[in-house]
Amino acid sequence: MAAIFKKQRLKLGDSIFNAVNIFLMALVFIFCAYPFYHCIMLSFNDGLDAASGNIYLIPRMFTLDNYQAVFRSQYLWSAFLVTMARTVIGTVLGVLLNAMMGYALMKKELKFRKIYITIGIITMYFYGGIIPLYLLVNAMGLIDHFSVYILLNLYGFFNVIVFMSFFKTIPVSLMESAKIDGANEFVIFRKIILPVSTPVLATIALFIGVHHWNNWLDPFLFTSKPELKTLPIILMEMINKSLADQLAMSSGKMAIAEHIGVTGNSVQLAAMTVAVVPIMAVYPFLQKYFAKGLMLGSVKG
């Protein structure tokens, strides 16, 4: 009797726990998804109308004017293309180079391996700072060059470590049999290692790609040409403006508020959407690899 009673109480306890848990996780879902949804949805609404508030799920006055205003600006088009170019070039090069380094460093027979790994780890521990980096970039004549975006971000030792840890889990027999067939290390890397490493390649590609897409410090520090501006820089400039608007409005000094395009705010939202949607577009395809690609590496390394 008592045992049954206890079991029932247990079941009840677990059910309450489940219900609370589902509720909490639903909240997490809403908290993480809704802010993006809300801002993107508002970017399709008339700016002046949106300023009166109370729009939560669907646009009240649907319009594409905000996007027209955004893309009418030549800056934004060029910023979009520059950002896209650095992201694609930077990601392809970055993934290949970091993977190659990870493969080489994984090999025990690599001479000076310990020294190389030590050098790599030091770079994770200690950072020279922006002024010394600026002096270096300046000395190399890279100021106001597109290549600065690519060159400065080619490697990251964290990525190399993730590659190393993943490659370690690939059965040695795969590589050995290829070796017996006379394949050299580069052929093995290209023909055997890369094809079975989709999870880690996708994961690191997303890391590097997002880094390039979001990076603002490189253009901020190393370029001044308007044609080298990137999306984050445009957004930065817009945010500074918006905050001025906000402050002006909340303190009642409407005269200071300065509007660009449709309304300052709605153009901002449209520009933000332009910056977020590409990440949203590739994210579902790449995120499913995180589990395999990152966990193996990070739990161990």
Pick out residues in 83-112 that bind another protein (CB under 8 A): 97-98, 100-101, 103-105, 107-111
Q: Is 236 in the site for another protein (CB under 8 A)?
A: yes
Query: Is 145 a residue that touches another protein (CB under 8 A)?
Result: no
Distance of CA 34 to the CA centre of its chain: 19
Contact with another protein (CB under 8 A) among 44, 46, 47, 50: 50
- Read off the tokens for 169: 């889990």
Q: Determine, following the binding rule CB under 8 A, whether residue 13 of this chain makes contact with another protein.
A: yes
**Min separation Cβ 61 and another protein, Å:** 15
Rounded to a whole number of angstroms, the minimum distance from the CB of residue 1 to another protein is 15
**127 binding another protein? (CB under 8 A):** yes
List the one residue from 88, 121, 174, 256 that touches another protein (CB under 8 A). Answer: 121
Q: Name the minimum Å distance from CB 163 to another protein.
A: 11
Three-class SS of residue 62? strand
To which residue do tokens 């088009």 refer? Answer: 77
Alpha helical stretches, state H, the chain: 2-42, 47-50, 65-72, 74-106, 113-125, 130-139, 147-151, 157-168, 172-180, 185-188, 198-214, 217-222, 231-250, 264-287, 290, 296-300
Q: Is 76 in the site for another protein (CB under 8 A)?
A: no
Considering the rule CB under 8 A, would residue 48 count as an interface residue with another protein?
Answer: no
One of 61, 64, 88, 136 touching another protein (CB under 8 A): 136
Smallest distance from another protein to CB 158, Å: 9
Q: Does 53 bind another protein (CB under 8 A)?
A: yes
CA angle 103, 106, 109 (to 5 degrees): 110
3-state secondary structure of 195: helix
- Classified as helix, coil or strand, 78 is helix
Phi, psi dihedral angles at 112 (to 5 degrees) = 60, 20
Q: How far apart are alpha carbons 60 and 45 in whole angstroms?
A: 6
Query: Closest Cα partner for 205 from 283, 147, 278?
Result: 283
Dig out the tokens for 25 from the structure.
Answer: 């996780």
Per CB under 8 A, which region of 7-15, 60-68, 75-83, 191-199 contacts another protein?
7-15
C-beta closer to another protein: residue 8 or 74: 8
What's the closest the beta carbon of residue 255 comes to another protein, in angstroms? 17
Assigned token pair, 74: 């030549």
CA distance 157 to 126: 12
Q: Of the ranges 46-54, 64-72, 73-81, 253-261, which one interacts with another protein (CB under 8 A)?
A: 46-54
Q: Of residues 22-41, which lie at the interface with another protein (CB under 8 A)?
A: 22, 24-26, 28-29, 31-33, 35-36, 38-39
Q: Is 75 in the site for another protein (CB under 8 A)?
A: no
Residues between 187 and 206 that touch another protein (CB under 8 A): 189, 206
Q: Which of 69, 76, 152, 200 binds another protein (CB under 8 A)?
A: 152
* Per-residue interface string for the shown chain with another protein, residues 252-291, x marking contact by CB under 8 A: -------------x--xx--x--xx--xx--xx--x--xx
- Residue labelled with tokens 């993730």: 162
Closest by Cα among 235, 83, 53 to 149: 83
Amino acid at 173: S
**Residue 301 found at the interface with another protein (CB under 8 A):** yes
